[in-house]
Every structure is written in structure tokens, then in C-alpha cells.
Amino acid sequence: MTADIQHAPATRSYRDYAQPAWRRLLFTREAAIIALLAIVYVVAAVSVRNFAAPITITYLLLDVATILLIALPMTLIIITGEIDLSVASVVGLSSVTLGTLHQAGMPIEAAGAVAILVGAVAGAVNGFFITVVGLPSLAVTIGTLALFRGLAVGLLGTTAVTDFTEFWTDLAKSKIPGTPIPSVMVLFVVLAIVFAVLLHLTPFGRGVYAIGLASEAARFSGVRVERTKFILFVLSGAVSALAGIYYTLRFGSARGDNATGLELSVIAAVLLGGVSIFGGRGNILGVIAGVLLIGILGSALRLANVTSDVINIITGALLVASVVSTSVLAWIHRKRIGAGIKKGPPAPAQD
Amino acid sequence: SDGGDGGSGGGDGGNLAITFLPKNLGNPYFDTSDAGGKAAIEEFGGTYAEVGPTEAAPDAQVSFINTLTQQGVGGIVVSANDPEAICDALNEARDNGIKVVTFDSDTNADCRDLFINQATADGIAKVEVDEIAKQIGNAGQIAILSASANATNQNAWIETMKTYLASDYPDIELVDVVYGDDDDQTSFDKTAALLQTYPELKGIISPTTVGIAAAARYLSTSAFKGKVALTGLGTPNQMRDYVEDGTVTSFALWNPGDLGYLAAYAAKALIEGDITGAEGDTFDAGKLGSYTVGADGAVLLGDPYVFDKDNIGDFDF
Amino acid sequence: MSDTPEQTDAPAPAVLELSRIAKAFGAVVALTNGTLRLERGSIHALVGENGAGKSTLVKIVAGLYQRDAGEFTLDGASVDFTSTAQAKDAGIAVIYQEPTLFPDLSVTENIFMGRQPRGALGVIDRRAMKAEALALFERLGVRIDPDRPTLGLSIADQQILEIAKAISLDAKVLIMDEPTAALSGVEVERLFAVARGLRDEGRAILFISHRFDEVFALCDTVTVMRDGAYISTSPISDTTVPEIVRQMVGRDVTTLFPKTEVPIGDVVLEVRGLTQPGVFSDVSFVARSGEIVALAGLVGAGRSEIARAVFGVDPYASGTVTVDGRPIAKRSPSAAMVAGIALVPEDRRQQGLVLDSSVARNATLAIRRTLARLGLITNAAENGSARIWASRLEVKTAALDTEVGTLSGGNQQKVVLAKWLATDPKVLFVDEPTRGIDVGTKAEVHRLLSELAGQGLAIVMISSELPEVLGMADRVLVVHEGRITADIPRAEATAESVMFAATHAEGEAA
Amino acid sequence: MTRVGHLLKARETGILLALVIVVAATTIKNPAFLFSTDGWRDLLLTPAILMLVAVGQAIVIITRSVDLSVGSVVGLSAYLTGRTFIDLPGLPWPTVFLIGLVFGGLLGLVNGALVAFAKVPALVITLGTLYIYRGINVMWTGSDRINASDMPKEFLALGTSSLLGIPYLTIIAVVVLVAAGWYMYTQRAGRELYAIGSDPAAAHLYGLKVTQRVLAAFVVCGALAGLAGVLYAARYGTVNSQAGSGWELDAVGAAVIGGVAIFGGSGTVWGAAIGAYLLLTINRALPVIGVQDFWQRAVVGVLILGAIVLDRVLAVRQSRRLTEARNS
Ligand SMILES: Nc1ncnc2c1ncn2[C@@H]1O[C@H](COP(=O)(O)OP(=O)(O)OP(=O)(O)O)[C@@H](O)[C@H]1O
Ligand SMILES: Nc1ncnc2c1ncn2[C@@H]1O[C@H](COP(=O)(O)OP(=O)(O)OP(=O)(O)O)[C@@H](O)[C@H]1O
Ligand SMILES: [Mg+2]
Ligand SMILES: [Mg+2]
């Protein structure tokens, strides 16, 4: 009668995870994308002439480096449930900044630093409208997509700046000595580690996920929602500007229309990599696999003389298939469990 | 995987697999020029292929050039979207023994072996300015509807036109240069905007085939039909209706089919080692006869041809 | 009440009958033996602990979930609903535990969505619709602008709207899953009057609530569930609260409000002249170490707003908040947290929890910075901390990576508490801490609050349940229309004195 | 309360006012912008096609989805129109409208089915179909193109001529707009689209036919984009494989400028239509006002931002009124 609730039930024990590790790691979108990446690579290496050559890796990585870089902050932004459509325009703006300043006599190092600063400011403009004014990011960045591109094109007009210091343009295309891997990958790997740690191993990253899943609850738990988003947009601007510098140096040409339309490729790759457009889900590894998958497919198909329209169709189909298959698999999973219950023992009798 | 090995049939052992890389696919001008190239390649028994991006973006051609390098074709014939952006890719291709010929739109001279020039900038600028001057009576406002803001050849021509206008036609005022991005709809809307912005406008020069067709189409249904003159570079098939209904009096162009044809023969000559691209080299170009390489590795096709009501019926491209 | 068609002892014809319903969600078995019999002209209570499966049973009746096994008959005929529309057409109206309102649409449209009155060409007759809405509000004795969007309605008004919606369906079976959780006494009384009217018209009503006073005041019959299974059904007159509680919990529960006397220490929190025009004005109070201060008042009085402003989620125009004499920056929950304030918010699903995230992540969200070593945080650290708090609060979950959204309401509330207790706060605001929580857990929450006060925590408790306020508080602050109108010490706090201050502005406090 | 009703309408009124100001300012600078035959015609005509797409887009956005594939649908349908004239020369030209509508509707159905049945986010699906449809278009068109001479004169005349000073294409677009606006406001199904966008989970609990309605919204959006493709062919006379590319962002932009909330549940097709007119009229007005070609895009960006900020200010004001109304 007087039993205190406190002592009545035995102290519970809790498992850390409901499922064994291999199940948790293997049955994920990311694992599927990585597996697909491996399969496509092997199939292409076997069946497409010239694909297995090391030069393929070089070209491939040079091509996707811009997308890889921009995809890093984009992943975090999409995980918070926002989106940044202005990234490609920031690439253009950064390219033009670098070009005009260099033309005016500034060394590349300094001009590059200013370009990154301009990118960060562009990101801060997005961040301001989204977090301070409180506007939806999709709408804001459709606006700044036009604004930043307009500034880039307006600043440089018909001209293109091409006379960059050879040291830098060569560096942008150089390879790590003794490997087919472009040097720019060093920059990427460093940034990828930084972003992966930031997202997966820091309190900031925990906040990012919480914001994406339930921003109000995150705010009530002391997550600085606005500040977090603001920081992410600034990072996105800065990294896009960095990608813009690489892009400019790689092609040796600073133009206002550089990288037009790249935003959709970046977003497609991030989504293919398993990041949920609704926020709260996804990881860096999956995104990298997603970018590489699109890159490898494109490279293999081009080598096999498949035209670019077919490559586009395949990319689109892959994107659709990747999300549809997850939802179909979940549905099958539910069905199976449902059937299992029905076949199970009858409900125990009432007491 | 058939691009790399098929083309060693003709000549003396050179790899005659020649691939055309236009600014973008689905552009009728390049369809015609590449068809000329195809005809030439079939004549001399090489392997023709055409690849390209769907949109004329500066960097889009690079991955195609890279792919061709990996496939080890014999020659690339390319119209550059950007004089600089594809340079390194082309040089890498050349390092791998591929001969590079540019046509229609050049890159920097050190990134290719030869440039097949459709006409000199002077020639083109002069024809267009003379035509418009004739039609508007040597005085009044004119505007230019160009391709994209960074288009190398258009920009060069426009510069020459400005100089020529200033020296020879002081009464003609060039009020604006607008860019239709070689996109139908944009060019169309820009034409409309021009006409409203400058009510006194007497004529439009559009030195691009997409632009002139769109402008003609807008003019033909507007109140300005017959009042505002239009000339520029166009293909006869696209312009036929407008010449016949009086919207356009005359326009100019070289024969793009011949341009591709010549480029293909130039590539063959390079591949087979007949020429190196040095000034003074001479090579044979099938039905077009013999050509000589000029300064900076440029080969000139000829003078632009002016089409009007009387002669347009003779052409089909 | 005397004209109830049938005698309770003669078996009345069942409108709706469920027997041995089973339902599982993946590995979670929600129902093993759902059994229920609703009769015409009767109000039937369904009680059970959090997670007993009440809402799941309701959702099966509503056609939202499909049962895995068992029988479901309506008017004697077996039915298999595959959508909520079918259940609606069959005459079943449901008020879900979660609100189902469309925030962008007007109050009227919310009530009549999908069945608006129509004129020629199928054009919606907005005038007729508005008139019907006004008539409904008249019947419920409430005043809500029928043209305003539902966005920004208080939780109480939202609940009233749900009730209006269900009543307007004119259904033969009306199911209400905890409809009174957000309502004040007056509104509850009106709801009861309407419910009795419907019963007297011969309709069957199922009423789910954790408040026994309501169950005994309103219902004719009560069914108890435990762990997804049916336990008993009895006429309300044949049973008692302790009996029901024993059946629900499976054992006896003694004290509901185990208030222990603890020495009250120094002032920890001091709020001075807090004002936000239109919401609250000139709010001043203190909370001392070891003290439980209750903020009482009618729903909509602005108590939650005060708590949110103090915690920094909401803005305030003027005033100061100090903890241990140090002022705290406005509009910054993280500053408030660092200063030692914690807030268990009233809206658990929106504000309290990241429903799609795991128990461990939720329980450590507020302390993620302190858990980090060299700026890095690991799953192991999170699980370690979460395990401690989950077992201290007896959270019912198998694994720490279970999504919190799949736990029952009470267990969710425990996770919220765990999250805030882990921050080791000096002042704990709890806003409706036992709303929608079963007796067992409720007693546990109360015991916990007492224990925390005993450890020197200052607790500010917002509650709309008078017994809870009277039973737990050392001091009762009454809020009326955004102002504190009375400060009543425990000894003088009675139902009458608190209610008087809550309804009369002139009872100005010293 | 009618005050609230007025405020709600203010979202469209504000944007309409902006449009009037742009037209007035430009006309003062250059009367031909409004008072010449061509000026008047282009003012009404140029945005009409985008308006159709924006109306469809608005309907989809109201249900809390988005359709990024509209540009590709416009392109495919425009090319199909040309091909129909070439391959079926005997066909009476008005039937191409039907063909365009049905064809666009089918493409919309594919989007809708994937979104509604597979329950996957519309942005991802339609980003995928944006690539797929455009790829099919390029593959099908190749380097072919439809020229004005391939299409009947009567059909092309539709693209430029007017009835009582109002271009035919504008009339078609306005008829569609009025029908859509009427349906969305007065029909149960229309209101349900708002409910679904406002809170999909609640709509499901409530028993609305969410799947069916979302599917229908995509079909309508596709059909309108298909119709826009037919009008594109009539207006521009030439169709290549890139027709309509990039329109998706214009259409979403127009809807957003017009006050359609990107997260569904509020806004009207009227607003989206005005948004389309504002967007394209600004484009045309800038050169007249003397803004150099290169800077125009920047100005458009600033205006989009201005429009959504304005919308936000109005919304905040409205919610403040609501709070006051409740407290009084
Ligand atoms: N959609 C779902 N997915 C997984 N598990 C669920 C789901 N809905 C309910 N459950 C689980 O089923 C059990 C019964 O939950 P239910 O909501 O029916 O309880 P309840 O009796 O209504 O509790 P409360 O009084 O807290 O509302 C719980 O253990 C809950 O976690
Ligand atoms: N979402 C909201 N938007 C705008 N104003 C609100 C909102 N919620 C509440 N208010 C305002 O704040 C006042 C207090 O509302 P609320 O119902 O939250 O009070 P409360 O005292 O916290 O009641 P309880 O906690 O018992 O539900 C209301 O009178 C209302 O004017
Ligand atoms: Mg429940
Ligand atoms: Mg409250």
C-alpha cells in the first residue's frame, strides 16, 4: 500500500542502440550510395575503354572539385532545413572580384583573400535576410541568385580577365607528385574533415541537426538557431568564393557568367548523397559519395560516347530513383513486419 | 568506345578520327558547319564525330576535350566559348599528339595549331556597317543586338564597327549594344526593349545568326516593320521569310558549310604532317582548292557574302 | 440525466464494439488486447497510464491505423476502415490528442473543411458557413472571431475549435482524446454541458482523460487499460479513484502531492517590472532556493509568456531578470541557461522535444556544450549522460537511440525533464508539467519536484490544475490578464482565494 | 472582421501597386512604353506565358510542394507543338492546344505520382525530372529546330495579334487565371489544397484526400506548363531544345513575389500572376529607364528581395493586429 513509486520497479537498463552496429551502418542511404559508387566504378573500369587509366581520376577530380567544395557547407545548410541557391552566383562574383583586383595590380594572394571576404559578405547578406528578417531561404536565395550574378556580370561586362600569374594557374591544375590526384584535393580533404568534424562531432553540429528536425524545440533548448544559420550561410558564401577562385584559376579566365547553373548540380549531388531536403538527416560521407557518383557516371558515359542529354537523363533518374527507392524499401519493411505480427501468436487473453 | 581507333583508314598512317566540338549542340549554324566537316572527312576517308555541351557555357567544353584526349582522337575541331578557359585542356590534348583546329571562334593563338577564320573582323564589320548605312540613308540612330557579352568574335567585330562608324559615318549614332545570349527568347525580348527605349531608332545590326532571326521575327509583326532596318549575320533558311516579306533587305554570312569543310581538311593536313601550322604553309582543301596559312596560324575562308531578295533563292543552308 | 434511455444494468445495444484488437509499430507493440464497448446515450471513460494504448485504439477506430488483429464492429456489422474519411462517413467524430488545425485558414474554414455548405456550381456559401460557425460557438458559449486565421490562437482556443469541429459533425459516436488537457474550469464545464446534451440525444461518447475528477463528474462507465491490454469495465458508480488507479498501475499509489517541508533559502531568481505590451505588464516576483512558486491563473492569463520571456525565448520591452543578483541578457535562452535557468515548456511536441531525434540526443541537447571534451562530443558521452537521467526518471524505452516521438506522452515529458535536470539548474520553470500525464507518472513528477526543491532548487511551476497548485506550492502567484494580482502564501492558499484572484483584477497584491 | 480581410488582400495589393509604379515611372520616362501599339501589346503579352506557368506553380506551392520541372515541360511541349504541325499537317491548329494541355498534364502526372504515392519530397523529384525532361527534349530535338515557317500563319498570328487591343495570348492566360482563381477560392477541392499545404499531417488526420489532391495539383501545373509551351511556340516562332530553360526559377520567383508562401497554405494565384507581370515588366522597363544591360539582373535580384521583405512586413503587421484583436 505504501510502496513508494521510486522503489517499486526494478531500475531499468538501457541498451545504447536498438540494432546491432552492422545493421545500423549497412542499411543506410549512405551505404547504398557508396556501394553504388563502387559498382559503377568497377563496371566502368571493366567495360569502358580508357576509363581505368589514371588520367581519368585526374580529370574527374578536377571537374568535380568545385561541386565537392560547395557541397560541404550546402550539406549543413540543407540539414538545418534551409537551402542556398545563390552559391553559383557567388562563384561568379568571386571570380570577377579576383579578376578585377588582379588586373588592377593586386597579387593573387591578396585578391583571393578579398574574394573570399566578398563571398563571406554575400553569405552574410543571405544570412541577414533569412535569420534577422526571417524570410524563407528558398525565396531569399532566388533573389540573391539574380543579385550576385547581376553584380558579377555588371562589374566585368564584356571583358574576361585571363592574365593570371602562371604559378597559381599551374597550381590549380597540378597533381600531387607521384599520383594522379589533383593538388586541389588536399584543400578539399582538409575542408571535408573540418566540416565533417563540425557536423558530426561538435555541439554546433548537434544544434544543426536539432534545428533541422525541430527548430522551435532547438531554440527552447538553448540552441542559437539564428546564429547557427547565419554562420552556415557565411561559411557557404566563403567556401563558394574559394571554389570560385579555384574555378577561375583552373580555367584561367575570370568571367561574370562562370559556373552559371551550378547550384542545381550541387543540390542534386547533396540530395543524392542522402541528405533530406526537409532537414535533420544526412552526413558528409554520403554527400561526397553522391558528388563522386554523378562525376564518375558522367565521365564514364562521355568516354563511352554517350551524349550529354543522356547523361542528364541518367543523373535525373538516379536522383528520382534514390529517393523513391528509400521510400519503397521503407514501405516493404513495414509490410513485412506487419505480416510477421499477423502470423505471430494470438494476443494473450485478458487477465 | 569507337572514337579512338576507327580513323586510321586514309592517308599515310595518321589517325584521321576527327571530332567536331561546336559551342553548343542544337545550333543550326553549327549543324551546317559540322555537316560540311563531315562531308570533307567522308571524302578523305576519316572518322567523323560530333560532341558538345547543350549550353554554350565557358567551362562546359573542357570535359569534352578531356574525354577526347583520353580517347586519343587524331584531331579536334572546336569553336571556343571562351578564348582562355579551354586553353589548358587543348594544350594537354596537343601534348598527347592531338591536332587542334579552331574555327568560327578562336582561342588564344598558343592553344591551337590552326584557326580557320570565316572572315576578317574588318571584312565583317565593314559589310554590316555599309549595309545598314545604305538602308537608313547614312544618318540616324542604330543599335547592336549581339550574342553573349563575352563572345570573342562578336566583341572584336563590334569594336571594329565602332571605329569604322566614327571614321566613315559620323552622322550615324550607335546608341546601345545589347546581348541576347544567343538565345531566341532573350534576343526577341531584347529587340522589343530596344525599339521601345529608342523611338528614334533607324536600324539594328545583329552580328549573330540567332539574334538576327529573333529580331526579324519581332519586327515582322510589329509596327516598326519596314521602318527600322535590320541587318547582320544570318543563314538564308532562317531569314528567307523575312527577306521575302520586306522586314529585312539584306544580310551577310559566309558559307558555314564551307567553313567546316575547310577546318576538316586543315585538321587532316596537320594530322598527316603535311603542314605544321606555320605561316606560309599551304594545304589542299578538296573542292575549295588550296589555302595558305597566314599570320598567327590563321587561315582565311574568304569574304562574307551578302544575301538579298535577288539571290537568296539560290541557297539552302 | 434521469432520462437516459436504458438502465445501466440491462445491457444496452452497443454502437461500437472492439475486441481483442492488436497493433504493433515495427518492434513496438502498442496494443495486444484492445477491447471496448460503447453504448448509445452514454459517456464512457477510457483511462490508463501513458503509453497504455488509448490513443492508438482511438486511431484505429478513426480509420487512421489499421488493426493487425481483432474485431471491430459498428452497429453490429464488422467494419474495416482504411481512411479517416470512411470513419467520418460512418458517423464517428474524433478529437485527436494532437491538434489537427490548418493554421493559415480561417476558424470557420477549419470547422467545415471538406464539407462546406455549397450553392450553385458547387460554390462555397461563405455566409451560411459563418452563420453556422457562430451558432456553434454560441452553443459552446465561447467567443472566437470566425474570420481570423487559426494561426496564433492559444492552445485553449485551438482545443475549443477542435471540439466545435467534432460536434458540428453531428456524429453518432464522438471520441475525445484528452480534450480538457488545455482547458480551464469554466470551459471544461461548458464542454461537459454540451457532452451531456449529446448523450441525452442518444449519442455514444468516449472520453479519455487523466483527470479523475472529470471522469467521475462526467462519465457513466469507465474502461481501464494497461500495457496495451484491456483490464476492466465498470459503471462509474461502482468504482473509486484508488480502485481505478490500482488497476491502471497494477499496484497502489499513495500520495499524489508528496510535498515535503524544506528550509527556504536565499532569493535565487528575481524578476522586476517585466513588461511586454499586450502580453504582460509590470510582472515582479522572486523565487528562493528550496521554494516552489506556483503561477496560477486562467488559461490565457499569460503565464507561459512570462516564463518564456524570463527564459529568453520571447522578447520583453522593459524590466530585469536577475539570478543570484546577476542580471541576464534579454532574448537569449543560452544566456539564461548559463545563468542557471531551465524551462520545461508547455508544448512538449513543438517546444520540448526534437521528436525525430533519439532519446539520448534529446536528453543531452541542452548540455551538449558541457559534455564536449576539447570541443568534441561523442555518442558515448551522450549515451552515458542520457542513461543516468533516463534511469533516474524511469523513462520507458528499450534503447537510447529510440526516436523520442515514438514514446508515449508521459515518457516524452520525462525526457524533457531529464534534459533540463541534466543542466543542473538553479531555477526550474515547469509549464504544465503534468499535462497529459497519467497518475503514476504524475505522482512521480511531483515527488521529483519536491526532491529537487529539497536539494535547493528554486522551482516556478505553472499549472492550471488547482489541486496541483495547492498541493505543491509554497507560494501561489495569481496571474490575471498579464499582471500578478495576488501573492498567497501556502497557509492561506485555498481554492476560493486563488480562484477569486484569478478572476478578479481588483484583488491587487501587495 | 473585415479589417482582417482587407489586410489579407493587401498582400496582392502591395505587389499590384509596385507593378503600377514600375509601369508609371517607365512611361513617364518614355511614353512609348505604354502608349505605343507595340508597347501596350508587349506589356500585356510578354509576361502572359510565364503567368500561366506561375499560376500552376502557385497551385503546387500552396499544397506545400514545388515543381522545378516546369521549364523543361514548357520546352518539351513547345517542341511537340512544332512537331505536331510538321508531322500532322492536316490537323486543325486549335487541337494543338489540347495536345499541349494533355501532354503537359501527363508529365505533371509523372511528377505528381512520384511525389504523392512514393511520398518523397517534391523538390528532389522535380529536380530529377527537370534533368530528365530536358534530356529527353535534347535527345528528341537533337540539333533540329522548329522555325516559324513550319507552323501555320493563323497559329503564329495568335502569338502577336490582338482582340480589341488585348493580345490573344493574354486573353487565354487571363481566362485560365480567372478559372484557377475562382476554383481555388470557391470550391471545396480548392480550399482543401490550402488545408493540405497549411498542415499536411493534420490534413491526413482530418481525412482529406491528400494523395489525390496533390496529384491533381501537379497535373494542373504540368498542364498549364504544357499550354504555356504551345503559346511559346506561337509567340516566339522558333523552338530549339533549350526553350523554357531556367523558367523554373522565374516561376517560383513570380509566385513568391506574388505572396505565395513557399511553405504552403497561403497566397493566391492572383498574386502569382501579378508577380509574373512584375518580374518580366521590370526586365523590360530597366533598359527603358536606362539601366545598363549588365546590371539588370542585379536590379531584378534587389526587387525580388524587396518584394519578399514587403510581404513579410505586411504579414507581421497582420499578425500584430490579430494579437491586438484577441486581447481586446
Ligand atoms: N506511430 C507510432 N510509431 C511507433 N510507436 C507508436 C506509435 N504510436 C504509438 N506508439 C507506441 O504505442 C504505445 C501506445 O501509445 P499511445 O499513444 O496509444 O498511448 P496513450 O495511452 O494514448 O498514452 P498517453 O496517455 O500518453 O497519450 C506507446 O508505447 C507508443 O510509444
Ligand atoms: N501563439 C500566440 N501568438 C500570439 N499571442 C499569443 C499566442 N499564444 C498566446 N498569446 C497571447 O498570450 C496570452 C496568454 O496565452 P496562453 O494561453 O499561452 O496563456 P497561459 O497563461 O500560459 O495559459 P496556459 O499556460 O494555461 O495555457 C493570450 O491572451 C494571448 O493574447
Ligand atoms: Mg494518448
Ligand atoms: Mg500556457
Q: What is the pLDDT of residues C7-31, one digit of tens each?
A: 445 555 788 999 999 998 876 788 9
Mean pLDDT over A117-126 rounds to: 97
- Per CB-CB distance under 8 Å, the chain D contacts of B190 are 287
| Cα of C452 from ligand 4 centre, angstroms | 23
- Least confident residue range of A110-114, C140-144, C422-426: C140-144
Q: Distance from A335 to chain C by nearest Cα, in Å?
A: 10
Pocket test for ligand 2, best of D317, D318, D319, D326 (most atoms within 8 A of CB): D326
pLDDT band at A219, cuts 50/70/90?
A: very high
Pocket test for ligand 1, best of C18, C59, C406 (most atoms within 8 A of CB): C406
Q: Find out whether A260 and A266 touch, Cβ atoms under 8 Å.
A: no
Tally Cβ neighbours within 10 Å of residue D78: 29
Q: By the CB < 8 Å criterion, does B221 face chain A?
A: no
> Coil, strand or helix: which one is C425?
coil
**pLDDT, tens digit, 9 for 90 and up, residues A171-208:** 888 889 988 999 999 999 999 999 999 999 999 999 99
Phi-psi map region of C152: left, alpha, beta (phi>0 left; psi -120 to 50 alpha): left
Q: Chains near B, with 3+ CB pairs < 8 A?
A: A, D
- Return the closest-CA partner of residue C419 out of C389, C375, C394, C451: C389
What's residue C254's pLDDT? 57
- Least confident residue range of A225-229, B107-111, C79-83, C157-161: C157-161
- Return the closest-CA partner of residue B255 out of B288, B282, B290: B288
Tally Cβ neighbours within 10 Å of residue A113: 15
Would you state the cell numbers that stand for residue A222, as one nine-digit string? 538553448
What's residue C5's pLDDT? 44
**pLDDT, tens digit, 9 for 90 and up, residues D208-229:** 888 999 999 999 999 999 999 9
In chain C, what are the helix, strand and coil shares in percent, each to the nearest 5? 35, 25, 35
Sorted by sequence, the CB contacts under 8 Å of residue C115 that are 6+ apart come out as D188
What's residue D9's pLDDT? 56
**pLDDT, tens digit, 9 for 90 and up, residues A72-113:** 999 999 999 999 999 999 999 999 999 999 999 999 999 999
How many residues in total does chain A contain? 351
**pLDDT, tens digit, 9 for 90 and up, residues C362-417:** 999 999 999 999 999 999 999 999 999 998 888 888 889 999 988 877 788 889 99
User: Could you tell me the domains of chain A?
Assistant: 24-331 (1.10.3470)
Nearest by CB to A153, which of B49, B58, B149? B149
Mean pLDDT over D182-205 rounds to: 91
Q: Is D5 a member of any domain?
A: no
Share the mean pLDDT of chain A.
Answer: 87
Total number of domains constituting chain D: 1
What's residue B105's pLDDT? 86
DSSP string over C219-267: -SEEEEEETTEEEEEEEGGG--HHHHHHHHHSS----S---------SE
Tally Cβ neighbours within 10 Å of residue C266: 12
CB contact under 8 A, D312 and A150: no
Q: By the CB < 8 Å criterion, does B194 face chain D?
A: yes
**pLDDT, tens digit, 9 for 90 and up, residues B154-185:** 888 999 999 999 999 999 999 999 888 877 77
Q: At the topology level of CATH, where does C253-340+426-434+442-510 sit? A: Rossmann fold (3.40.50)
| Cα of C302 from ligand 4 centre, angstroms | 7
Q: Is D4 a member of any domain?
A: no
Nearest by CB to C447, which of A5, A209, A216? A5
Nearest by CB to A150, which of D119, D296, D312? D296
Would you state the cell numbers that stand for residue A247, as one nine-digit string? 574555378
Q: Which atom of ligand 1 is nearest to the CA of C65?
A: 1
pLDDT band at D206, cuts 50/70/90?
A: confident
Mean pLDDT over C151-172 rounds to: 83
Query: What CATH number is attached to the domain comprising D83?
Result: 1.10.3470
What's residue D284's pLDDT? 80
Would you state the cell numbers that stand for residue A89, as one nine-digit string? 552566383
- Residues B170 and B175: their CA atoms lie apart, in Å, by 13
Q: Distance from B176 to chain D by nearest Cα, in Å?
A: 9
Share the mean pLDDT of chain C.
Answer: 86
Question: Cβ(C485) to ligand 1 under 6 A?
Answer: no
Do A and B make contact via 3 or more CB pairs under 8 A? The reply is: yes
> Coil, strand or helix: which one is B261?
helix
The boundaries of the domain holding residue D32 are 11-327
Pocket test for ligand 1, best of C32, C47, C56 (most atoms within 8 A of CB): C56
Percent of chain C past pLDDT 90, that is, above it, reads: 46
Burial class (CB in 10 A: 0-12, 13-18, 19+), D21: exposed
List B residues 132-171 in contact with D (Cβ-Cβ < 8 A): 149
Angle (CA) C143-C146-C149 rounded to 5° is 115
Helices (H) and strands (E) counted in chain D, each on its own, are 14, 2
Q: How far is CA C463 from CA B137, C8, C98, C316, in A?
A: 90, 36, 20, 22
- Residues A237 and A124: their CA atoms lie apart, in Å, by 8
**pLDDT, tens digit, 9 for 90 and up, residues C255-303:** 566 677 888 899 999 999 999 987 899 999 999 999 999 999 876 788 9
| Cross-strand pairs, B305 | B253
Order the strands of the C458-462 sheet from edge to edge: C341-344, C427-431, C458-462, C292-297, C475-480, C483-489
CB contact under 8 A, D205 and C116: no
What's residue C336's pLDDT? 94
| Cα of C303 from ligand 2 centre, angstroms | 8
**pLDDT, tens digit, 9 for 90 and up, residues A128-180:** 999 999 888 988 998 999 999 999 988 887 778 888 888 888 888 888 998 89
Q: Which atom of ligand 2 is nearest to the CA of C481?
A: 29
- Residues B194 and A10: their CA atoms lie apart, in Å, by 84
- Least confident residue range of A54-58, A157-161, B297-301, C79-83: A157-161
What's residue C251's pLDDT? 65
**pLDDT, tens digit, 9 for 90 and up, residues C31-76:** 999 999 999 899 999 998 777 889 899 999 999 899 999 999 998 8
Residues of chain C with CATH 3.40.50.300: 14-101+169-249, 253-340+426-434+442-510
Q: Chains near C, with 3+ CB pairs < 8 A?
A: A, D
**pLDDT, tens digit, 9 for 90 and up, residues D100-143:** 999 999 999 999 999 988 888 888 889 889 989 988 988 888 76
DSSP string over A163-225: ---HHHHHHHH-B-TTSSSBTHHHHHHHHHHHHHHHHHSSHHHHHHHHHHH-HHHHHHTT--H
Thinking of the domain C14-101+169-249, which architecture would CATH place it in? 3-Layer(aba) Sandwich (3.40)
ipTM: 0.81
CB contact under 8 A, B58 and A252: no
Q: Is D3 a member of any domain?
A: no
pLDDT band at B210, cuts 50/70/90?
A: confident
Biggest CA pair distance of chain C: 73
What is the β-pairing status of strands C427-431 and C458-462?
Answer: parallel
Q: Distance from A153 to chain D by nearest Cα, in Å?
A: 6
Q: Is D33 a member of any domain?
A: yes
8-state DSSP, C18: E
What's residue B296's pLDDT? 86
CB contact under 8 A, A349 and C33: yes
Question: Cβ(C30) to ligand 1 under 6 A?
Answer: yes
Phi, psi at C160, each rounded to 5°:
-60, -40
Share the mean pLDDT of chain D.
Answer: 85
Question: Which ligand lies nearest to the CA atom of residue C181 in the structure?
Answer: 2
Would you state the cell numbers that stand for residue C458, as one nine-digit string? 528554486
Is the pLDDT confidence value at C343 over 50?
Answer: yes
Angle (CA) C27-C31-C34 rounded to 5° is 165
Percent of chain C past pLDDT 70, that is, above it, reads: 94
Grid-cell match 534514390, residue found: A322
